[in-house]
Amino acid sequence: MNKKTVRDVDVKGKRVLVRVDFNVPIDKNTLAVKDDTRIREALPTIKYLAEHGAKVILVSHLGRPKGKDPNLKMDNVAKKLEALLGKPVKKLDDCIGEHVKHELAKMNEGDVCLLENVRFYAEEEKNDPEFSKKLAELADLYVNDAFGTAHRAHSSTAGVAQYLPAVAGFLIEKEVAVMGKALTNPERPFVAILGGAKVSDKIGVIENLLGRVDALLIGGAMAFTFLRAKGYKTGKSLVEEDKVTLAKEIMEKASARGVKVYLPKDVVVADKTDDTAGVVKTVKAEEIPDELIGVDIGPETVKEFSAVIKGAKTVIWNGPMGIFETKKFSEGTKKIAEALAEVKGVTIVGGGDSASAVQKMGYANKITHISTGGGASLEFLEGRELPGIAVLQNK
């Protein structure tokens, strides 16, 4: 990565504003943090800054507050961070203004404090220059370590860098290094597994990967649009009718480039997409009954996909193979996670549903890199420059 990181600047005695991604799942009743993965991912940067004498000022959003939602305050996030960090974390009741400045003035080197939810201000998501300026007034240096929001040009992810020297934290450095190498200089064979509901969400990714991968495995609901493009009947499965021609073009382009595209050979079909499904059976991909819905990849597909995955040296996975939240339809996703865990090379899971599937199934420690940002990792895999990274200083 050609961007400066916290290692490249002197932080001692400086007030350092760090944009972290503490947008963690919260228990509806107790408001306690249910999964602290994103907080743990930020620890290396926070510890480094504190140990090197910085006054560490953390800022994040939590959820989608419409105004100042008391249920989305950062208090419990601060408590969780304090426990993980093993040192006090002071939580402030606002993220800009005189009171905040006054409190920050009391900080000593190595202290850590957390500002209130930055999305309590509508100006944040509008990337309002005045709001960005108010955030910038709190610090001498800006560090972006929130890969999960790096694809958004908001005040705390991009705007503030107009007014402060800006560098990357270790998490952003890691995300960009691992995914960047996979895209520019992968060990081969390089295989991409794409799933999830819609082709439209992944068009940019597919087009960027076609020139780079050796094989493309397509599962999830988006596979039905491709099966339709092959002339198969897809029953009541989710098909993006307006993308069928595009799916056909993608397959032709892949073939012209020598990229092998694997589609499901068999699929699990059901009469409903949740636990109440009475009919659940496996059929050949070209024999989906009119009244049933495709909900997962079948065992033959799992076998073929797994063989391709295990033979790879670099694998990128984005999007589940079926409706994995429903136990009956989670087998395909589970088996793909299993195959991925056995790969000897570099394995990357691109955030979102596939990341939670891998974690839920207990394979997280066998994967080289699980991205913390669903949308950000998708845009990165599309080859787009992310606003929150573009604004950082070059080395």
Q: Which residues are catalytic?
A: 38, 198, 352, 375
Are residues 142 and 368 in contact, defined by beta-carbon separation less than 8 angstroms? no
C-alpha–C-alpha distance, residues 381 and 116, integer Å? 32
CB-neighbour burial class of residue 150 (10 A; exposed 0-12, middle 13-18, buried 19+): buried
User: How many CA atoms are closer than 13 Å to the CA of 341, on its beta-carbon side?
Assistant: 16
C-alpha–C-alpha distance, residues 244 and 20, integer Å? 40
User: Any residues with CB less than 8 A from the CB of 291 and at least 6 apart, and which?
Assistant: 235, 236, 271
State which H helix or E strand residue 314 sits in: strand 314-318
**Residue spans of alpha helices (H) in 90-198:** 98-104, 122-126, 129-136, 170-184
User: Any residues with CB less than 8 A from the CB of 269 and at least 6 apart, and which?
Assistant: 235, 237, 279, 280, 281, 282, 283, 288, 289, 292, 293, 294, 295
DSSP 221-281: THHHHHHHHTT---TTS---GGGHHHHHHHHHHHHHTTPEEE--SEEEEESSSSTT-S-EE
C-alpha–C-alpha distance, residues 370 and 347, integer Å? 8
The first and second tokens of residue 165, run together, are 């020297």
